[in-house]
Amino acid sequence: MDLARTAALVLMVIAHVAPGDGPGRILLVSEFLTAPLFALLVGAGAQLGEDGARPHRALRSLVRALCLIVVGAVLARSSAQVVIVLVHLGVLTALCIPLVRGRTRTLAGLLPLVLAAACLLPMLHRAALAGAGADTPIGALPVRALALAGGEGPYRLAAMAACALTGILLIRLLTSRPRGAGPVLLAGAGALGAFAALVIAPNLLGIFAVHAYGGTPAEITGDLAGAAGVLLLCWGAADLAPRALGLLALPGTMSLSLYTGQVVVLHAYSVLADGRRDDSWPMLLGLLLAGALLVALWRRFAARATTARGPLEGLVGLAESAALRLRSREGASAR
What is the Cβ-side half-sphere exposure of residue 158, based on CA atoms within 13 angstroms?
Answer: 27
Summary mean pLDDT of the chain: 88
Mean pLDDT of the region 14-32: 86
Neighbouring residues of 195: CB distance < 8 A, sequence distance ≥ 6: 32, 33, 222, 223, 225, 226, 229
Q: Encode pLDDT of 309-333 as tens digits.
A: 889 999 999 998 899 888 877 766 6
pTM of the model: 0.91
What is the number of domains present in the chain?
1
Rounded CA separation 292/300 (Å): 12
| Cα 90 → chain centroid | 10
Neighbouring residues of 83: CB distance < 8 A, sequence distance ≥ 6: 154, 155
Domain span including residue 322: 2-334
Question: What is the structure's pLDDT at 17?
Answer: 93
Asked if 193 and 145 touch (Cβ cutoff 8 Å), the reply is: no
208: which DSSP letter? Answer: S
Mean pLDDT of the region 72-82: 93
Question: What is the structure's pLDDT at 215?
Answer: 87
Q: Encode pLDDT of 135-180 as tens digits.
A: 544 456 677 777 877 778 889 999 999 999 999 999 999 998 777 7
- For residue 128, give the nearest of 112, 159, 149 by alpha carbon: 149
Question: What is the structure's pLDDT at 228?
Answer: 97
Rounded CA separation 198/220 (Å): 9
Asked if 311 and 301 touch (Cβ cutoff 8 Å), the reply is: no
- For residue 80, give the nearest of 286, 270, 277, 260 by alpha carbon: 270
| pLDDT for 131 beyond 90 | no
Q: Encode pLDDT of 241-284 as tens digits.
A: 888 888 899 999 999 999 999 999 999 999 998 878 889 999 99
